[in-house]
């Protein structure tokens, strides 16, 4: 449990850490923490603690990403810069294994509450900063206001907690309902269309799965939609500027084909694909982490100019993964997530407790949110999100192994 607390503490440190091109003092401290964690994991493996089979595709992906250093060096990328690109992948794997090995099966719910409690506090912190600066909503432009929204913290929180709220609305404590409503409003104030769309898809997904598993009364869905809608409408009436900006952003979604931001992302992905397919070796193995690609940007905002751009940043997380680690790396990474979803679907068919089923569906809801959002917002390039999702995935695997009463052979085939 101490190792889990260290990782949770790292999330808090990273949230408040100032951005830096080099390695900050906080980042250095977190690296030391993870060196200690890595050493302890190796001790577990040496003492015949087997690595879960589901982790193997991710492990092989990490090996490919590691050896991409040779391609990166060949393309003129500095070793330290390559390391900054590699570390998030590495941290993700280590966070999964640490949570799986060191979490107490009787305290999984406590870890989840602490983790999502932090996400709530991060969003509250942003809102508090708005009032500390004494800026009135009516006098604040959308681009400035969105900095005080909940961003992806609120999106993941809403996707996860929604499953609990909608599956047993009357049994949830008032603080959970209040937190959920606050995070819905915080998500809207982020004015990020990607997070709105990814959250929408995750809510639709979880609602369908809950109904299919007979964990949700259909009439309850309509009641809750009406209740949530009234809350948001009343909130926006108090702050009409939020309503105006929200309407403006929502209408722009339907006109994506003429939206400069969307066109920039489309041209960006086209540039990645064209660059990746020029050489069959690069197509399979990638150009190396940190290597830049070339594309024509039609947006004067995202790259500060219109014209040809060389960059190693892509809004499409999977696109740049294809460019940097090749077709082989991308397939292995996707295989890990597809297999994880498949196992969760499989587990839902077994005779397990209702609360465990709800928790598994909540995990799946966050995965759907992540996968949709990564197409236009690469959250996983940040270490903080690799720790967060590493803990979520680690708990998910631990739950299947420790709490779900599966037949022995099925359990072994799924996890070991």
pLDDT for the residue numbered 349: 85
Q: What is the pLDDT of residue 136?
A: 47
- Paired tokens of 163: 């499953």
List the structure tokens of 182: 């606050």
Closest by CA position to 391, among listed 109, 107, 97, 104: 97
Q: What is the pLDDT of residue 380?
A: 93
**Backbone angles phi and psi of 323, in degrees to 5:** -65, -40
Predicted pLDDT at 227 = 76
| pLDDT number for residue 35 | 80
The answer to whether the CB of 282 falls within 8 A of the CB of 326 is: yes
Domain layout of the chain by residue ranges: 2-255+318-415, 256-317
The rounded distance, in Å, linking the Cα atoms of 364 and 388 is 15
DSSP structural state of residue 293: E
**Residue 163 has what DSSP assignment?**
H
The span from the CA of 321 to the CA of 334, in Å, is 11
State the 10-residue block means of pLDDT for the chain, 416 residues long. Answer: 79 74 69 79 70 91 94 89 90 91 84 91 81 55 64 92 79 83 86 90 92 78 76 71 71 71 85 89 91 84 74 90 94 96 90 87 96 92 92 93 57 50
Q: Is 308 helix (H, G, I), strand (E, B) or coil?
A: strand
Query: What's the rounded Cα separation, in Å, for the pair 371 and 160?
Result: 14
pLDDT of residue 141: 62
CA dihedral for 275, 279, 285, 287, sign (positive or negative): negative
> What pLDDT score does 411 carry?
47
Whether 98 contacts 41, CB under 8 Å: yes
Residue 28, C-beta contacts closer than 8 angstroms, at least 6 positions apart: none
372, 74 contact by CB (below 8 A): no
């Amino acid at each position: 449990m101490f190792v889990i607390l260290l990782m949770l503490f790292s999330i808090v440190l990273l949230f408040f850490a100032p951005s830096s091109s080099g390695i900050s003092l906080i980042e250095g401290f977190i690296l030391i923490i993870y060196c200690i964690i890595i050493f302890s994991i190796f001790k577990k493996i040496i003492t015949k603690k087997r690595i879960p089979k589901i982790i193997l595709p991710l492990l092989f992906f990490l090996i490919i990403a590691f050896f991409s250093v040779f391609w990166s060096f060949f393309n003129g990328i500095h070793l330290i810069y390559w390391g900054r690109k590699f570390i998030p992948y590495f941290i993700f794997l280590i966070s999964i294994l640490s949570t799986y090995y060191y979490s107490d099966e009787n305290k999984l719910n406590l870890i989840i509450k602490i983790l999502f409690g932090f996400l709530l506090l991060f969003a509250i912190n942003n809102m508090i900063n708005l009032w500390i600066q004494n800026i009135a909503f009516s006098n604040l432009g959308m681009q400035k206001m969105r900095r005080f929204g909940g961003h992806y913290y609120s999106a993941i929180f809403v996707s996860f907690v929604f499953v609990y709220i909608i599956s047993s609305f009357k049994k949830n404590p008032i603080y959970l309902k209040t937190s959920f409503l606050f995070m819905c409003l915080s998500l809207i104030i982020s004015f990020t269309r990607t997070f709105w769309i990814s959250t929408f898809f995750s809510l639709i997904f979880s609602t369908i799965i809950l109904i299919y598993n007979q964990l949700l009364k259909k009439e309850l869905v309509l009641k809750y939609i009406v209740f949530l809608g009234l809350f948001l409408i009343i909130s926006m009436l108090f702050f009409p500027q939020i309503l105006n900006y929200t309407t403006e952003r929502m209408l722009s979604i339907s006109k994506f084909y003429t939206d400069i931001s969307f066109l920039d992302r489309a041209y960006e992905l086209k540039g990645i694909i064209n660059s990746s397919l020029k050489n069959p070796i690069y197509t399979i193995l990638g150009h190396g982490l940190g290597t830049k690609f070339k594309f024509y940007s039609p947006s004067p905002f995202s790259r500060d100019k219109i014209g040809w751009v060389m960059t190693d940043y892509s809004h499409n997380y999977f696109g740049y993964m294809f460019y940097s680690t090749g077709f082989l790396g991308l397939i292995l990474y996707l295989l890990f997530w597809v297999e994880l979803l498949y196992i969760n679907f499989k587990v839902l068919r077994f005779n397990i407790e209702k609360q465990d089923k709800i928790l598994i569906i909540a995990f799946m809801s966050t995965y759907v949110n992540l996968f949709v959002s990564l197409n236009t917002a690469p959250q996983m390039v940040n270490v903080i999100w690799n720790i967060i999702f590493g803990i979520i995935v680690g708990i998910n695997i631990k739950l299947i192994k420790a709490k779900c009463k599966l037949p022995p052979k099925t359990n072994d085939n799924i996890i070991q």
